[in-house]
Structure 1
Amino acid sequence: MEALRIVEYYTASVVWCVVYGIAFKYISPWLSFRLSKTYRQLGQRRDWDIRITSMLNSLITGPISVYLILSDNELGDNPIWGHSRPALHILAVMVGFTLTDLLNLLYYYSYWKYMGALEYAGYIAHHVGVLVAYMSCLTLGTLSYFAVFRLTCENSTLFTNIKWLLETNGFSKSSKPYVVNGLALALAWFVFRIAAIPPYWYVVYTVYGTAQYNRLLTINKYILIVVCLMLDVLNIEWFSRIVRGAKRILQKSKQAHSE
């Protein structure tokens, strides 16, 4: 890929990192303090602010990634080496958010260490892995189709963050907002993380072993198959928990309405 194009995408990543940093540090605190009594009572607000920032990222990257998968012929016609400026720019947006979140985890270590060393290390490893995968796309222009395909899962991340906000604001699990969001989370998780598994692996199957596939670096092949397989296993496990939770919520909601 042309050097100027690479500079363009990395510049976009830095710009989005700054935008998300401003959202985390200034915009979310300013809005939340004025709109939420719960926020004003919180001693530590970083969890809240990064989730608001994550929701902003989901609203940007989720719908656009779906649109690109459905309409961008440059990606679909050549899943291995095909790329387009819109696709690489949306990956740059995700790189920017991931950098912001990683810097937040590292800079505010004294706050985030409450989650425990193992979980904290897992978050760091996840973020580094995401950066390696997406920055590889920005640098080499490879596997953009698969990267954008995976990015569609951000459509379910939105409801995960809303769930946390509802719980933090004291909504009961039988309340209407909690029930509606729980069902939306289960549906979005199924559509974008479970139902998406067969078509993803079908495309992998069609390109595996081809001349274009064999030109990939070993790390790209590892990310495409091994890492994504691990993610799918985790998504299936998490979905089973979401379904069990949704069933409990519906049962409690029915009991509350019958009393």
Structure 2
Amino acid sequence: MGKTIESVTFDPSYYPAAVVSCAVFLYLYKYAGPNISSKLSPKYSSLTEADRIDWNTRFNSSLHSTFVSCMCVYSLIYDEDISNEPIWANSPMVRTSCAIVVGYMTCDVLIMTIHYKKIGEVFYFFHHGASIYAYFYVMTYGVLPYFANFRLMAEFSTPFVNQRWFLDKLKYPRTSTVFMLNGLAMTITFFFVRIAVMPTYWRRVYSVIGTEPFKRLGHISLVLVITCFILDSINIFWFYKMCHGVRKVLTIYSNKTPVPVLNHVDKEE
């Protein structure tokens, strides 16, 4: 008989990685981020307090998404076990990635809670809560490594979203070449890593539903289906806003009117 969630030992060995991740991102937010940002962009110091707080969280977000997505690509290419056994394969790399994500999102929730009046949004508490809930099980029990790794590769689009916000705060014209190129890169990347991959992801989910390994998940099977359905619904909403922005880009070239390039799109994890 194979593993069941009841038979898998509660394994907190990856918790230190989550704690270190949270501590590192808190340090980056409080000290390293502001120092680096002020040196790279003198305008950083002239921002409002709320904008500096938001800037520092996006600085963290960009570093986190770049690092984790690279780890996920490595796992996808070199870790054959997670493809052969997507539910129960034990992948230290994937579990470490999830621990880093849990630590980062915990840090982000703490910052948003402390500065709720300035940058807090209920939407992001909901998003982070759903993500932490899902990756907690992967980190703790080692289950669903393939699906967790697949979902985290979506982070490739996040730096472009943050870069758009940075350009806006630095007063780059929304009709400038750099603003429009970043906006198009953001939309294209978002489409490929979050929207276009949905059929592939859900086809793989469908292929394991009802199998013996899936049945042995017990209640954790809800993480695979419900949490990912919620996150995909959020991604579709974001992509709708981006497409609305692309339409405005096309309007610029067809009517030659100085309309904004893209609607406001907030950061996503």
Length-normalised TM-score, structure 1? 0.89
Aligned residue number for residue 173 of structure 1: 174
Aligned residue number for residue 239 of structure 2: 239
Aligned residue number for residue 223 of structure 2: 223
Length-normalised TM-score, structure 2? 0.86
Measured in 1, the distance between the counterparts of 2:233 and 2:136 equals 24
Aligned residue number for residue 208 of structure 1: 209
Deviation of 1:256 after TM superposition, in Å, equals 7.7
* Residue identity opposite 1:229 in structure 2: F
* Residue identity opposite 2:248 in structure 1: R
Measured in 2, the distance between the counterparts of 1:253 and 1:65 equals 38
Bigger drift between 155-164 and 229-238 goes to 229-238
Contact 1:79-1:144 at 8 Å conserved across structures:
yes
Bigger drift between 196-205 and 240-249 goes to 240-249
Measured in 1, the distance between the counterparts of 2:253 and 2:177 equals 8
Q: How does 1:72-151 map to 2 (within 5 A)?
A: 72-113=79-120, 120-151=121-152
* Residue identity opposite 1:223 in structure 2: V
State the Cα deviation string for residues 145-167 of structure 1 (Å, max 9, x = none).
Answer: 11111111110111111111111
* Residue identity opposite 2:85 in structure 1: N
Q: Secondary structure at the match of 1:152?
A: helix
Deviation of 1:253 after TM superposition, in Å, equals 5.5
Contact 2:130-2:227 at 8 Å conserved across structures:
no
Unaligned runs of 5+ in 1: 114-119
Q: Secondary structure at the match of 1:172?
A: coil
Q: Percent identity?
A: 34
Bigger drift between 104-113 and 22-31 goes to 104-113
Unaligned runs of 5+ in 2: 1-7, 259-269
Q: Does 1:152 align with 2:153?
A: yes
Deviation of 1:127 after TM superposition, in Å, equals 1.6
Q: Does 1:29 align with 2:30?
A: no
Measured in 2, the distance between the counterparts of 1:58 and 1:244 equals 25
Cα distance, 1:15–1:226 mapped onto 2, change above 3 Å: same
Deviation of 1:2 after TM superposition, in Å, equals 6.0
Contact 1:83-1:145 at 8 Å conserved across structures:
no
Aligned residue number for residue 116 of structure 1: none
* Residue identity opposite 2:21 in structure 1: W
Aligned residue number for residue 117 of structure 1: none
Deviation of 1:95 after TM superposition, in Å, equals 1.1
Which of the numbers 73, 76, 79 marks the counterpart of 1:69? 76
* Residue identity opposite 1:139 in structure 2: T
Measured in 1, the distance between the counterparts of 2:21 and 2:237 equals 32
Deviation of 1:86 after TM superposition, in Å, equals 1.0
Aligned residue number for residue 19 of structure 1: 24
Contact 1:175-1:253 at 8 Å conserved across structures:
no
Moved over 6 A (4+): none
* Residue identity opposite 1:238 in structure 2: W
Aligned residue number for residue 200 of structure 2: 199
